[in-house]
Copies of this chain bind each other. A is one copy, B any other.
Amino acid sequence: MESLVLDYTLAMDDALGEKQGVSRYILEALRIPLQDARDHLLARRREGTLAWTELPRKDVRGVLEYAERVQGRFENLVVLGIGGSALGTTALATALLHPYHNLLPASGRAQRPRLFVLDNVDPDQTQDLFSHLDVRKTLVNVVSKSGTTAETMAAYLIMRDLLEDQVGRGRLAEHLVFTTDPEGGVLRKIGRAEGIQMFDIPAGVGGRFSVLSPVGLLPAALVGIDVERLLAGARFMDEWITETDLVYNPAYVYAALQFLEHTRYHRDIAVMMPYSARLRDVADWFRQLWAESLGKAVDRRGRTVHAGTTPVKALGATDQHSQVQLYAEGPDDKFFTFIKVGEFGYDLTIPDAHPGAEELSYLAGQSMGGLLNAEQRATAWALARRGRPSVTIELPRVDEAGLGQLLYLFEAATAVMGELYDIDAFDQPGVELGKQATYALMGRPGFEELATEIRAEVPERTPYRIERK
């Protein structure tokens, strides 16, 4: 398997100067904390408390057999999930399916279903989707670890009603497949009672680390993505990270740089900017992984730290015409991760359609992929010229093997970051209050007091409200 490349030349002082670039010595000084991080993570692996690291070696026959069994039966696959139950699937689909997959005729999709990931509770979007689909030809994959996620369950209840109406109670189960906790939760209960096909989210695998579990693999297999090759890519990366010395270890070097940029150089925004339209939703998936894992108020010893850098997704070359002005001239508070692709699926040659036009002649005969990669290099260089650091990850090509490497690299680097910050990278206590407030405002029994409190604190009429009469 051809490996990805991590190039951090433009993060170093050789390129950026002493003040803005990282020196070898500073990097070397992180060796002890990095070694501690590694020892701790390897110990947790041995204990079996890092369940996501086991995913690349899990048996996926169940997923493959189910996908084969229903192959050709459905025109549409609707995934109902939010956050980690949706972002990995979307990242895989955008990267590995035809960009206009849903517009292709069935033959152009090898009889695979169209894919709709509904990850919100927007009534307009939901209504427009559900009324557009022929639900009799639709398979609905409900993805929720707890089985109680308000957004997912609201959409499920509406969809279920529609299905019952159209296909009848008796055939309902054929149109549903649940991905949920192996034991608990209301989805598991419903699934058992009604004989619905179910897949497990293995115990200890949180949503944002679940893309290589049935959460991501089932929809991927259903639309024809080679999930075994994806896992092979992840295994390849896992071996690399496990076997290699820190200095040549992409997860540890990447985490070390991110950590230094934040804590030593006070760059608190982590921009992820792939130069590939196919990878744009990998940046969105990364955004959750990074933000939810590292954005923590207290460390493991209970000290208030407010850790975490803010992930920002961008897209090259598009965002050169939107964000690069700020990146170049605004505050020096960003560390850039570029992703570039070695070999595109196609390459297009730009024709010399206007031989008279001098302003265009430099483009004639060049490849479009060459232009895109030149723009990446030019942008990284121009930022470095202003002392702004970046790393570039070079993916040989956008395929299953490459994606497996890339996603697993980011998961591993995030876990290392958690160790360096000394925080728990695998919980999310900060979302609880908002959830309870939603329950309160929705009138869920037991939350009446909180509802009163919120209504008093966020009154409907305040002096700080302006409108035009």
Q: A121-B317, A346-B123 are in contact. Are A324 and B430 (CB under 8 A)?
A: yes
Q: Mark A80-114, 1 if CB is under 8 A from B, else 0.
A: 00111011000000000011101110000000000
Residues of B near A295 (CB, < 8 A) are 325-330
Closest-by-CB residue of B relative to A11 is: B464
- The answer to whether A192 has its CB under 8 Å from any CB of chain B is no
Is B329 a contact partner of A123 (Cβ separation < 8 A)?
A: no
Q: A153-B360, A308-B330, A329-B430 are in contact. Are A276 and B122 (CB under 8 A)?
A: yes
Q: Closest CB of chain B to A366's CB: distance in Å?
A: 6
- The answer to whether A367 has its CB under 8 Å from any CB of chain B is yes
- The answer to whether A49 has its CB under 8 Å from any CB of chain B is no
Q: Closest CB of chain B to A424's CB: distance in Å?
A: 11
Is A442 a contact partner of B362 (Cβ separation < 8 A)?
A: yes
Is A123 a contact partner of B368 (Cβ separation < 8 A)?
A: yes
- The answer to whether A310 has its CB under 8 Å from any CB of chain B is yes
Interface 9-mer from A55-63, A66-74, A211-219, A350-358: A350-358
Q: Mark A166-207, 1 if CB is under 8 A from B, else 0.
A: 000000000000000000001001100000000000000001
Most buried by B among A83, A329, A462: A329
Chain A interface extent, by class: 35 or more
Is A277 a contact partner of B120 (Cβ separation < 8 A)?
A: yes
- The answer to whether A431 has its CB under 8 Å from any CB of chain B is yes
Residues of B near A360 (CB, < 8 A) are 148, 153, 157, 186
The residue from B320, B325, B363, B431 contacting A157, defined by CB atoms under 8 A apart:
B363
Is B291 a contact partner of A325 (Cβ separation < 8 A)?
A: yes
Is A120 a contact partner of B377 (Cβ separation < 8 A)?
A: no
Given contacts A4-B467, A125-B277, A320-B434, list 16 more A-B pairs with CB under 8 A.
Answer: A3-B467, A6-B467, A7-B465, A83-B318, A121-B368, A124-B345, A157-B360, A297-B329, A320-B431, A328-B431, A366-B443, A371-B442, A374-B441, A374-B442, A375-B434, A384-B457
Q: How far is the CA of A428 from the CA of B332 in the complex (A)?
A: 17
Is B332 a contact partner of A306 (Cβ separation < 8 A)?
A: yes
Q: A158-B350, A329-B295 are in contact. Are A462 and B9 (CB under 8 A)?
A: yes
Interface 9-mer from A34-42, A126-134, A220-228: A126-134
Q: How far is the CA of A294 from the CA of B320 in the complex (A)?
A: 15
The residue from B99, B372, B384, B466 contacting A6, defined by CB atoms under 8 A apart:
B466
Q: A186-B357, A374-B441 are in contact. Are A310 and B312 (CB under 8 A)?
A: yes
Q: How far is the CA of A296 from the CA of B100 in the complex (A)?
A: 38
Is B381 a contact partner of A326 (Cβ separation < 8 A)?
A: no
A-B contact pairs, 25 of them (CB 8 A): A6-B465, A7-B464, A9-B464, A10-B458, A12-B464, A83-B318, A99-B128, A100-B129, A120-B315, A125-B278, A126-B368, A127-B348, A150-B371, A150-B375, A153-B360, A157-B360, A190-B354, A207-B321, A295-B330, A306-B332, A310-B333, A324-B434, A327-B430, A329-B429, A374-B442
Q: How far is the CA of A219 from the CA of B221 in the complex (A)?
A: 37
The residue from B7, B104, B269, B347 contacting A269, defined by CB atoms under 8 A apart:
B269
Residues of B near A291 (CB, < 8 A) are 322-323, 325-326, 330
Q: How far is the CA of A207 from the CA of B84 in the complex (A)?
A: 36
Q: Mark A1-35, 1 if CB is under 8 A from B, else 0.
A: 00111111111100100000000000000000000
Residues of B near A153 (CB, < 8 A) are 360, 363
The residue from B104, B123, B437 contacting A344, defined by CB atoms under 8 A apart:
B123
Closest-by-CB residue of B relative to A208 is: B322
Is A150 a contact partner of B363 (Cβ separation < 8 A)?
A: yes
Is B83 a contact partner of A468 (Cβ separation < 8 A)?
A: no
Closest-by-CB residue of B relative to A443 is: B362
Is A465 a contact partner of B9 (Cβ separation < 8 A)?
A: yes
Residues of B near A87 (CB, < 8 A) are 322
The residue from B83, B164, B345, B367 contacting A321, defined by CB atoms under 8 A apart:
B83
Is A99 a contact partner of B125 (Cβ separation < 8 A)?
A: yes
The residue from B4, B158, B445 contacting A351, defined by CB atoms under 8 A apart:
B158
Residues of B near A269 (CB, < 8 A) are 269, 310
- The answer to whether A253 has its CB under 8 Å from any CB of chain B is yes
Is B377 a contact partner of A458 (Cβ separation < 8 A)?
A: yes
- The answer to whether A302 has its CB under 8 Å from any CB of chain B is no
Residues of B near A431 (CB, < 8 A) are 320-321, 324-325, 328
Is A128 a contact partner of B100 (Cβ separation < 8 A)?
A: yes
